[in-house]
Structure 1
Amino acid sequence: MKHLISFFLFCFTLISPIANAEQPHYISDNLYTYLLKGPGSQYRIVGSVNAGEPVTVLETNKDYSRITDDRGRNGWVESKFISTDVALQERLPKLETELTTVKAKLAESLATNDNKHSELNSALAQRNSQINKLETRNVQLQNELTVAQDEVRSLRAKIDTQKDDLLMKWFTYGGIVAGVGLLLGLLLPHITPRRRKRTNGWA
């Protein structure tokens, strides 16, 4: 069992440098680091690597890693200065492009919202105008209805008065006719001459 574990550890040791070599690495942003001849500060400085430059990690020895920079130079740098994050100088153009796109979409969205808001306001104003017209017309109709009702009541009152006057006239005419008839009935016997009775010679 111990031999099997040792074999796996050995394989992992061999694979690790290959995996590190395949994954892109970058020197941490906002600094530069010295490129050393060996894995330690006691070794001679052979150059420097600027922040954000891509490097290839060949191997790691405790706190130092052997790298190859984009100019083909080999050397050792402190491992803490190496990052797998994409350098800021490479991310910045993409971020600026994304920011421009987002701003354009935001401006388009705001313009669309403004148009919709303007259309809604216009529709609302039109509806309010229609409502005001309908309310005004309703008031006019109510006033006309009130006037018409007053005229109807007035006409009904006149009709009732005319009926009463007509009845009074009929009663008056009837009384006059009855009076004239009564008067004639009283006068006619006195006006018409009486016929004398004939006397026969029969005793």
Structure 2
Amino acid sequence: MSLSFFYAISAFGAESYHVTDEVKIYMHRGPSNQYKIKARVNSGTPLTLLARNNETKYVQVRTDKGVQGWIDGRYLKVGKSVKARLPEVEKELIASKKIQVEQASKIETLTAELQRVNQLRKGELGKINDSRAKSTAQLAQLENQIVRLQAEIDGMDDKNLMGWFLHGGAVAIIGIILGLMIPKLPKRRRRTDEWL
């Protein structure tokens, strides 16, 4: 094969590649499976892309250990493999679980505080309702007492008026009787003392 089918890829060297997570593939000495097998590459192995053959779709790669060869480009994926990402994901999971436990603890604390506040509120509302009921009862009692006292005052005014009327009538009757009786009383004679 001529070199015209190969081209070096300097931009690919910047990105990290890996063998797909489903297979074990063979690394060949040239850009097809017609070349001798150089090594076996396990899934998830990190690779650096060096060149690509557009005709055979094979890519030239280098492992972290420095082994160079060609593999079928279908089995090359960009980024870190699942195997390489697993520790990071596990750390994230542990951190997430820790946050979840902290949040559950906060929720429990806030729920308990809410229940305590609700109990206090219910207690205060009960006291306020009891106080309102007592105040309402006292107000009704005082209103009844005012009505009763007003009736007594009205009754006293009538009694006083009637009492004065009766007293005046009695004085008038006594006056009439005396006026009629006094002239009929025998007159006393006057003594005349003439000492002279």
Question: Given residue 175 of structure 1, which amino acid in structure 2 is its aligned partner?
Answer: G
- Answer yes or no: is 1:56 the counterpart of 2:48: yes
- Answer yes or no: is 1:186 the counterpart of 2:180: yes
Question: Given residue 33 of structure 1, which amino acid in structure 2 is its aligned partner?
Answer: I
In structure 2, how many angstroms separate the alpha carbons of the residues matched to 1:109 and 1:161?
76
Q: 1:88 to 1:170 in 2, by over 3 A?
A: same
Instruction: Tell me the TM-score normalised to structure 1 length.
Output: 0.77
Using the aligned pairs only, state the percent identity: 29
In structure 2, how many angstroms separate the alpha carbons of the residues matched to 1:72 and 1:96?
29
TM-fit CA distance, 1:65: 2.1
In structure 1, how many angstroms separate the alpha carbons of the residues matched to 2:101 and 2:81?
30
**Structure 2 stretches of 5 or more lacking a match?**
191-196
Moved more, 143-152 or 161-170: 161-170
Q: Secondary structure at the match of 2:9?
A: helix
Tell me which protein shows more helix as a share of its residues.
1
Question: Given residue 66 of structure 2, which amino acid in structure 1 is its aligned partner?
Answer: G
Instruction: Tell me the TM-score normalised to structure 2 length.
Output: 0.80
Question: Given residue 123 of structure 2, which amino acid in structure 1 is its aligned partner?
Answer: S
**Structure 1 stretches of 5 or more lacking a match?**
1-9, 196-203
- Counterparts in 2 of 1:78-93, with a 5 A limit? 78-93=72-87
List per-residue Cα deviations over 1:124-156 (Å, max 9, x = no partner): 232222122212221221112222222222222
- Answer yes or no: is 1:38 the counterpart of 2:30: yes
Match of 1:149 in 2: 143
In structure 2, how many angstroms separate the alpha carbons of the residues matched to 1:30 and 1:187?
148
In structure 1, how many angstroms separate the alpha carbons of the residues matched to 2:108 and 2:43?
45
Q: Secondary structure at the match of 2:52?
A: strand
> Contact 2:48 / 2:62 at 8 angstroms: preserved in 1?
yes
The structure 1 residue matched to 2:93, chosen from 94, 99, 114, is 99
Which protein has greater RCO, CA pairs closer than 8 Å, 6+ apart?
2
Name the count of aligned residue pairs. 183
Q: 1:141 to 1:58 in 2, by over 3 A?
A: closer
Q: 1:65 to 1:164 in 2, by over 3 A?
A: closer
TM-fit CA distance, 1:52: 1.0
TM-fit CA distance, 1:175: 2.2
Match of 1:117 in 2: 111
Question: Given residue 96 of structure 2, which amino acid in structure 1 is its aligned partner?
Answer: V
TM-fit CA distance, 1:194: 7.2
Instruction: Name segments (4+ residues, structure 1) moved above 4 Å.
Output: none
In structure 2, how many angstroms separate the alpha carbons of the residues matched to 1:135 and 1:73?
86
Question: Given residue 121 of structure 2, which amino acid in structure 1 is its aligned partner?
Answer: R
